[in-house]
Structure 1
Amino acid sequence: MDRTRPLVTFLAATALAVSGITALSSAARAADADLAKNGGFESGLTGWTCSAGTTVTSPVHSGSAALQATPAGSDNAQCAQTVTVQPDSPYTLSGYVRGSYVYLGASGTGTTDVSTWTQSAPDWQHLTTTFRTGPSTTKVTIYTHGWYGTGAYYADDITLTGPGGGTQQAPAAPTGLTASSVTASSVALSWSSVPGATGYTVYRDGTKAQTVTGTSATIGGLTASTAYSFQVTASDDAGESAKSAAVTATTTSGGGGGDGGGSTGLPTHALVGYLHSSFANGSGYTRMADVPDSWDVIDLAFGEPTSPTSGDIRFNRCPVTECPNVESDADFKAAIKAKQAAGKKVLISIGGQNGQVQLTTTAARDTFVSSVSKIIDQYGLDGLDVDFEGHSLSLNTDDTDFKHPTTPVIVNLISALKTLKAKYGSGFVLTMAPETFFVQNGYQFYGTGKWGGQDPRCGAYLPVIYALRDDLTLLHVQDYNSGPIMGLDNQYHSMGGADFHIAMTDMLLTGFPVAGDQNNVFPPLRPDQVAIGMPASTNAGNGYVSPAEVTKTLDCLTKKTNCGSYATHGTWPTLRGLMTWSVNWDRYSNWEFEKNFDAYFG
């Protein structure tokens, strides 16, 4: 009798059972998907929100790109994306990283949030972790980040594997795309709403230009007399739609108000300088009549308040005890009229380093308007330059929307400037000279409400610039006396070379998400509204750059040649020009700044 047959039969049955379980498991896993979008960073940072990230071509784990992010200060350089998941389901998060103290994790799981990390990965290291979603969880945020001050880290091939959330079907492509309000440097676009879409992306000549939440956008930074093709896509949690049908628009030739200063009568390229009119320093006093004809806008520095919160602005000319060669009031006024007859603009600049102005009340606002008007009328000036520094503009902790400010000093300043513009009409020249801290630093930090602990001045000028964008003649940000500022390449840029000026100006002409919020984008200014602020000499302030670096800056921004490491998002031949502190310091340096401007623009 064969005693082995029953055992063979049992083993065969067991094998079939195990095989069936394995087959069932494989079928179940076949339903799983990689839910991470652009986990290999082959499409740049599409799908990711990064506080300080960019993509690089080396090193990479696979493909042609990887994430590089550099923690700095109080920022750990996190990159994150939110994905749609199924409730009460298992998921595996994995990715490849390298660098010191690199983290990979998931939050909002509905159960226990998870993370995994490596202390030291000189080469690519695989990180993986698992979690189960809660009974009502439909979205999970996955992220990677570094640690403070430990240098750049890299990440690639990030995956989130598990049951897909819903249908994972991207929205339909938008329809009804039209172009309107075409100028020499911008085109306004609008399109029909797409059901379920949470955002839209505008493409210019096939390249991503702007992301918005509504159904309209204005694309700036364009070149005059140039044809552009535009398309738009819709996005939701499942991804991005196909592109819409294209619409073509040709920018105007630049005639009229768009390129020549409009009713303000500025030349196509203008040189702006501050004239020390109320004080003396090592640069010496320069008479108004002695300012060379190259200077198109002359800002009288400074009108100052009688107290920080009074709103009462006084302009006191430099006394003879400090400025022995100061001209009389009559000669000063006559020289202003002569400059104006030659097509120059003379403005009163309010504030400066020592002139803190805080319009905390409506009474201070009204006093500001009346006292500034008195100065303008007394000297027959062409307009006003706002040079608020220090803590003149600071945001309240709950003021996080630059389009709808609530901070009194900002609301009252906007109201005062609109009143002055309305009083003097379209020929009124309105300029602003904020520091980079108040403007471009809003890209990373805006106030304190959203970021907690950040300086409340970060980006505090943005509400003022936005509110006055149609009335603003010139914005010339002070690209000096500044710490490192993050550009649109998510890299920090420091003073002393062309790259800093290129990066800071590109932000103004391209627009940028405020405090990293892709749904809260500060719109681009027209290039004819922008002049670049630079010190005239090494004596004038930190951040001086040589004439050669000034030329590189202008070449890159107006011709897209001679550029350095920063890649601009456009070319702006109608960039208005340069501003400098100051006419006096340039005279002290044998007019180096002025001569370089004249040589470049003729």
Structure 2
Amino acid sequence: MPIKFLILIILVNIFPVRNLNSQISNPALIGYWQNWNDFNCPYISLTQTDTSYGIIPVAFAIPASGTSYNMTFIPEGISQLNFKKQIDTMRMRGKTILISIGGANHPVSMPDTIKRNTFITSMMNIINTYGFDGIDIDLEGSSLSLSGGTISNPVDAKIINLIYAVRKIMDLYRIQYSKKMILTLAPETAYVQGGMSAYGGVWGAYLPVIHALRDSIDVLHVQLYNSGSMYGIDGNIYFQGTVDFIVSQTEAVIQGFNTAGGYFSGLRPDQVAVGLPACVNAAGGGYVIPDSVKAAILYLKGQIPKPARYTKTGTYADLRGMMDWSINWDATSSCGSVYQFAESFNEIFRSVQTLDLKLFIEALYISSEDTTRADTVKVKLRNSNSPYTVVDSAIGKFNTNGEVTLYFKKALNNNPYYLQIDQRNSIETWTKTGGILFSNNSAFYDLSLNSSQAFGNNINQLDDSPVRFGIYSGDPNKDGAADVTDASLVDNDAANFTAGYVLTDLNGDFVVDMSDAVYTDNNSSDFIIKITP
């Protein structure tokens, strides 16, 4: 093995893979990944997360026993090394992986500078060990509390030290990695919008933190659940689990509001996401059915008329996205349909991407007419980086010119994808290295142009004038190879005079005969197999 290659392997295993691009998903689906097994929402591997999720806070870094500030994180059910590999894999897929701090059951507080400094050191150790892209602050319970002061001038040590600690961690991160650390916040409503009704104790306790860090916050996603009722900026009270609650509480953190601790200036719309339970069992209250979520967010974005009682004062086309508790709950089939929340996000925030594809299948192509018999094709979009995860799929029927239009909900603009093309009895074929790009929600790909359009040049020239290339036929059993097993299937059906739309009718004339067998015979003799990255 060359020395340079060996050194590269060693470095990759020692140091976490980091995406030096500080850009994060926009719009963003943010989902908490639970680092534990629960009977009702079982543990899933981080790498099994639906591809719709772009920002993934890992729950949770918690204080060491006997402290409220010395932070620890231990992956459950997996080794530290393998968990780091999973984070690296997710990062190569373009995901942002954060470590979330605290949670409902583990208060975090720094009442003095010694404890604050321990918090900073311990959090940097966690970030460096696993290669997290940043932190998510999910402090609840007794973590933060107000005894006086104002939003712009807090007096409580826990709040002052938290602000200092986050700034210091961000500074250290930038020095070490030459990029901005990603910062998200997930307060409960009492700590934010609750400041409209009172300013003391937990009520409004996050507001000084948000105010001080507003230029560094990437996304604020207040938990619009387990909340009860809250004031809107119109002075009326709204209840969780409704369209009005989503609209009123989201607009409040964008428009800003008055409190007894001074005026809270809102954040930009692109800094704000709507935080909800993934399904009805994921929280004690506040679940909203998908149609109501859609109505609330589309109204906030200015795309539909007012759907309920609350009247918004502005339009927020740049609203950042949605957050859920949790990915694990979204993935379970016992609480709504699998990944229903992710599908809801895609329907609300992502434009349908259109792919115009031109292709020919070897046995279906009619050379004398430069046409093809029509048939159905299934196309999977795969990430361009290993392990080439399936992002989305679509099925369509190509016409006699070999043209088909396919629609994808989960594809992003300017993000490279491989196309995995499958027809019912041909060799699975992938597109060329580097993949395709959607631009302005559309893409065009002509697989028939030349052999380099397919990965590994794994297509056959069908015609010289005009020059046409097509996907190899002869794999009715779809095992990825044209071989004697396929030839036997075709030969047997030909001997039995089988007719109709069957897998062994390779040329699409609805009769299985020797004109089909020629493709399995020739391609098995040439050892034609699928070629993938």
Structures share a fold, TM > 0.5? yes
Secondary structure of 1:539 counterpart: helix
* Counterpart residue identity of residue 199, structure 2: Y
C-alpha displacement of 1:329: 2.9
- What's 2:44 paired with? 286
- What's 1:437 paired with? 190
- Structure-2 change in CA distance of 1:490 and 1:570 (3 Å): same
- What's 1:526 paired with? 268
Please give the per-residue CA displacement for 1:490-512, whole angstroms capped at 9, x wherever unaligned: 11100111110100000011011
C-alpha displacement of 1:524: 1.3
Distance in 1 (alpha carbons) for counterparts of 2:192 and 2:21: 27
- What's 2:119 paired with? 368
Please give the per-residue CA displacement for 1:271-313, whole angstroms capped at 9, x wherever unaligned: 0000011453520001011012111011111111125754101
1:574 equivalent in alignment to 2:327: no
Distance in 2 (alpha carbons) for counterparts of 1:267 and 1:503: 25
- What's 1:410 paired with? 159
Distance in 1 (alpha carbons) for counterparts of 2:237 and 2:195: 14
Aligned residues: 321
- Structure-2 change in CA distance of 1:522 and 1:538 (3 Å): same
Distance in 2 (alpha carbons) for counterparts of 1:442 and 1:507: 11
Distance in 1 (alpha carbons) for counterparts of 2:236 and 2:113: 41
- Structure-2 change in CA distance of 1:298 and 1:440 (3 Å): same
Distance in 1 (alpha carbons) for counterparts of 2:136 and 2:320: 16
Contact 2:36 2:43 in 1 (8 A): no
Structure showing greater radius of gyration is: 1
Q: How does 1:400-549 map to 2 (within 5 A)?
A: 400-425=149-174, 426-447=179-200, 456-515=201-260, 520-541=262-283, 542-549=285-292
Secondary structure of 2:190 counterpart: helix
Q: How does 1:213-228 map to 2 (within 5 A)?
A: none
C-alpha displacement of 1:330: 2.7
Contact 1:309 1:359 in 2 (8 A): no
Distance in 2 (alpha carbons) for counterparts of 1:394 and 1:263: 36
Distance in 2 (alpha carbons) for counterparts of 1:328 and 1:383: 21
Please give the per-residue CA displacement for 1:76-102, whole angstroms capped at 9, x wherever unaligned: xxxxxxxxxxxxxxxxxxxxxxxxxxx
Distance in 1 (alpha carbons) for counterparts of 2:37 and 2:99: 14
C-alpha displacement of 1:268: 2.2
C-alpha displacement of 1:427: 2.2
Q: Paired residue for 2:106, among 355, 370, 375?
A: 355
Distance in 1 (alpha carbons) for counterparts of 2:273 and 2:22: 15
* Counterpart residue identity of residue 579, structure 1: M
Q: How does 1:25-64 map to 2 (within 5 A)?
A: none
- Structure-2 change in CA distance of 1:286 and 1:570 (3 Å): same
* Counterpart residue identity of residue 112, structure 2: T
- Structure-2 change in CA distance of 1:281 and 1:418 (3 Å): farther
- Structure-2 change in CA distance of 1:308 and 1:431 (3 Å): farther
- Structure-2 change in CA distance of 1:272 and 1:549 (3 Å): same
Contact 1:297 1:344 in 2 (8 A): yes
Distance in 1 (alpha carbons) for counterparts of 2:106 and 2:70: 11
- What's 1:113 paired with? none
Secondary structure of 1:559 counterpart: coil
Distance in 2 (alpha carbons) for counterparts of 1:368 and 1:439: 24
Gaps of 5+ in 1: 1-261, 319-325, 448-455
Secondary structure of 1:272 counterpart: strand
Secondary structure of 2:101 counterpart: strand
Q: Paired residue for 2:129, among 365, 378, 395?
A: 378
Higher mean alpha-carbon deviation, 399-408 vs 379-388, is at: 399-408
* Counterpart residue identity of residue 202, structure 2: R
Distance in 2 (alpha carbons) for counterparts of 1:531 and 1:427: 20
Contact 1:273 1:583 in 2 (8 A): yes
Secondary structure of 1:304 counterpart: strand
* Bigger fraction of residues in helix: 2
* Counterpart residue identity of residue 286, structure 1: I
- What's 2:31 paired with? 273
* Bigger fraction of residues in strand: 1
Gaps of 5+ in 2: 1-19, 351-533
Secondary structure of 1:493 counterpart: strand
Secondary structure of 2:216 counterpart: coil
Contact 1:347 1:383 in 2 (8 A): yes
- What's 1:146 paired with? none
C-alpha displacement of 1:527: 0.9
Distance in 1 (alpha carbons) for counterparts of 2:208 and 2:31: 25
1:552 equivalent in alignment to 2:295: yes
- Structure-2 change in CA distance of 1:281 and 1:522 (3 Å): farther
Secondary structure of 2:183 counterpart: strand
* Counterpart residue identity of residue 507, structure 1: A
- What's 2:57 paired with? 299
- What's 1:7 paired with? none
C-alpha displacement of 1:395: 0.9
- What's 2:344 paired with? 596
C-alpha displacement of 1:584: 0.2
Please give the per-residue CA displacement for 1:314-344, whole angstroms capped at 9, x wherever unaligned: 11222xxxxxxx4433332112112112221
